[in-house]
């Protein structure tokens, strides 16, 4: 027979008359002295039909590394974080064989056999409660020794995931268990960036890798299809411009659309065969960013000073037109402010041109340009009115 039991996720550990409330992993015990099973995996297999696949390694250490290596393919930043935490797990763990955790009722629920019970095997201290001499993890050695190597690996993965959960202000572990079930299954290997992002949102975490770019999606925006439209970068770079703390825009395809330059004081990049100094201005936020076409070519850049372009075989210095210099996908100048006089020829006639200009994709001057547009896949954004 089966019974529905509230899952005990938070526990107090009583030591010498004092107590402390933490949170950690649970196991299912069905007969005293027999092997116990990690609750994460029991719930995943029996209730959600998610099979466990931790590879062919024999030891729990090999199995943990197998899971993290599989995760690394689609989510390298998280895999790297978990690997670093795993490397210090033993040093940060207090193993005890006397005393017990006192259970506190939690809102989670799972169906278990009537002759079984939930046992707390581990708790984890938040960083701000780790005092001198304390360990981050506390594990019941008596229950640990009754786990299979697979479930030992699963418990460690649970604690690594829950450590991230603590960073995201989670105080119970139903979502941690679910994330562990997915990461411990072969299904995760086929996840796309969008599926991974949806999973991360579902379990209440804020960081993921999207199309190879580590991002924080706490305040993200999305296309109608659900694809990521914009998020805060946490790592990665385009050339030598780091993404950290910069707003990153994506096309619906997942390709990079723009990098916000609002907070950039000034940086030099190698572009168009020149070393160019770029700078963003918050007052010009709509154009104060590096923008790209979907094929990866540069659409617009905010300059400090000027750059050289070739117009009808002539070298001409060009600067921003109200915030940026823009280009066509073929690299042809689209719009900017000419600082030199350009001897522009068309239909056998030559005229001297300088100041703000707009050109078509072939390099022909567009006369009487009153509006300049920066085209993206999602909108045609009017930047500034040009008075010619």
Tell whether 343 is covered by a domain.
yes
Provide the phi-psi class of 67: left if phi over 0, else alpha when psi is between -120 and 50, else beta.
Answer: alpha
Q: What is the pLDDT of residue 133?
A: 95
Q: Are residues 43 and 152 in the same domain?
A: yes
Between CA 386 and CA 323 the distance in angstroms is: 13
**What per-residue confidence (pLDDT) applies to 388?**
30
Shared-domain flag, residues 59 and 179: yes
Residue 202 belongs to some domain of the structure: no
* 171, 22: one domain: yes
**369 and 254 inside one domain:** no
Domain count, the chain: 3
Same domain, 225 and 270: no
Residue 224 lies in a domain: yes
Residue 217 dihedral angles phi and psi, to the nearest 5°: -105, 15
Within a domain: 204: no
206 is a domain residue: no
Q: Do both 182 and 250 map to the same domain?
A: no
Asked if 290 and 360 sit in the same domain, the reply is: yes
DSSP symbol at 179 = H
Does residue 205 lie within any of the structural domains? no
Q: Can you tell me the distance from the alpha carbon of 235 to that of 243, in angstroms, rounded to the nearest whole number?
A: 5
| Residue 77: CA count within 13 A, CB half-sphere | 18
Q: Based on the number of CB atoms within 10 Å of its own CB, is 219 exposed (0-12), middle (13-18) or buried (19 or more)? A: exposed
Same domain, 15 and 144: yes
Residue 172 is predicted with a pLDDT of 78
The pLDDT value recorded for residue 178 is 97
What does the pLDDT read at residue 112? 86
Say which residues have a Cβ less than 8 Å from residue 283's Cβ, sequence separation at least 6.
none
Rounded Cα gap, residues 170 and 262, in angstroms: 32
Query: What integer pLDDT is reported at residue 7 of this predicted model?
Result: 37
Dihedral angle, C-alpha 311, 313, 316, 322, nearest 10 °: 10
CA atoms of 303 and 293, how far apart (whole Å): 18
Tell the burial category of 155 from Cβ atoms under 10 Å away from its Cβ (0-12, 13-18, 19+): buried
Residues 244 and 270 in one domain: no
- Same structural domain for residues 107 and 85? yes
User: Does residue 199 form part of some domain?
Assistant: no
What three-state secondary structure class fits 87?
Answer: helix
Question: Is residue 105 in a domain?
Answer: yes
Q: Is 213 helix (H, G, I), strand (E, B) or coil?
A: strand
Residue pair 78/208 in contact (Cβ under 8 Å)? The answer is yes
Instruction: Tell me which residue range forms the domain holding 159.
Output: 2-190
Q: Which 3 state secondary structure label does DSSP give 118?
A: strand
Q: Count Cβ atoms within 10 A of the Cβ of residue 267 and give its class: 0-12 exposed, 13-18 middle, 19 or more buried.
A: middle
Backbone angles phi, psi at 276, to 5 degrees: -115, 135
pLDDT of residue 281: 59
Q: Kindly state whether residues 224 and 154 are assigned to the same domain.
A: no
Closest CA to 328 of 347, 309, 345, 313: 309
Give yes or no: residues 232 and 351 share one domain: no
pLDDT in tens, 161-205: 999 999 999 877 899 999 999 999 999 999 999 999 999 999 999
In the chain, which residues have pLDDT < 50? 1-21, 104, 106-107, 284, 370-388
């Amino acid at each position: 027979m089966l019974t529905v039991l509230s899952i005990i996720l938070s526990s107090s550990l009583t030591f010498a008359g004092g107590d402390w409330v933490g949170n950690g992993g649970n196991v299912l015990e069905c007969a005293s002295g027999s092997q116990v099973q990690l609750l994460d995996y029991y719930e995943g297999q029996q209730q959600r039909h998610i099979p466990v696949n931790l590879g062919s390694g024999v030891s729990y250490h090999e199995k943990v590394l197998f899971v993290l290596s599989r995760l690394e393919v689609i989510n390298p930043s998280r895999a790297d974080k978990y690997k670093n935490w795993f490397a210090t797990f033993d040093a940060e763990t207090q193993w005890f064989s006397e005393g017990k955790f006192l259970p506190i009722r939690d809102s989670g629920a799972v169906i278990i056999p009537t002759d079984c019970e939930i046992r707390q095997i581990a708790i984890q201290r938040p960083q701000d409660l780790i005092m001198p001499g304390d360990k981050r993890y506390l594990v019941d050695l008596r229950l640990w020794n009754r786990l299979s190597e697979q479930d030992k690996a699963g418990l460690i993965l649970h604690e690594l995931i829950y450590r991230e959960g603590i960073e995201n202000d989670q105080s119970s572990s139903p979502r941690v268990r679910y994330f562990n079930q997915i990461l411990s299954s072969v299904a995760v290997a086929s996840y796309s960036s969008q599926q991974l992002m949806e999973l991360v949102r579902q379990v209440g975490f804020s960081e993921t890798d999207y199309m190879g770019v580590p991002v924080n999606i706490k305040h993200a925006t999305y296309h109608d299809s659900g694809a990521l439209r914009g998020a805060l970068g946490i790592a990665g770079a385009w050339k030598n411009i780091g993404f950290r703390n910069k707003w990153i825009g994506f096309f619906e395809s997942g390709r990079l659309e723009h990098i916000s330059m609002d907070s950039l004081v000034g940086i030099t990049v190698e572009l168009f065969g020149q070393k160019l100094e770029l700078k963003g201005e918050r007052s010009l936020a709509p154009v104060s960013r590096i923008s790209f076409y979907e094929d990866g070519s540069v659409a617009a850049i905010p300059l400090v000073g000027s750059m050289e372009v070739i117009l009808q075989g002539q070298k001409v210095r060009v600067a921003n037109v109200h915030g940026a210099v823009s280009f066509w996908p073929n690299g042809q100048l689209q719009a900017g402010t000419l600082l030199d006089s350009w001897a522009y020829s068309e239909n056998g006639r030559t005229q001297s041109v300088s100041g703000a200009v707009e050109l078509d994709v072939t390099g022909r001057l567009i006369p009487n340009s009153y509006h300049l547009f920066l085209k993206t896949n999602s909108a045609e954004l009017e930047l500034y009115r040009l008075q010619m």
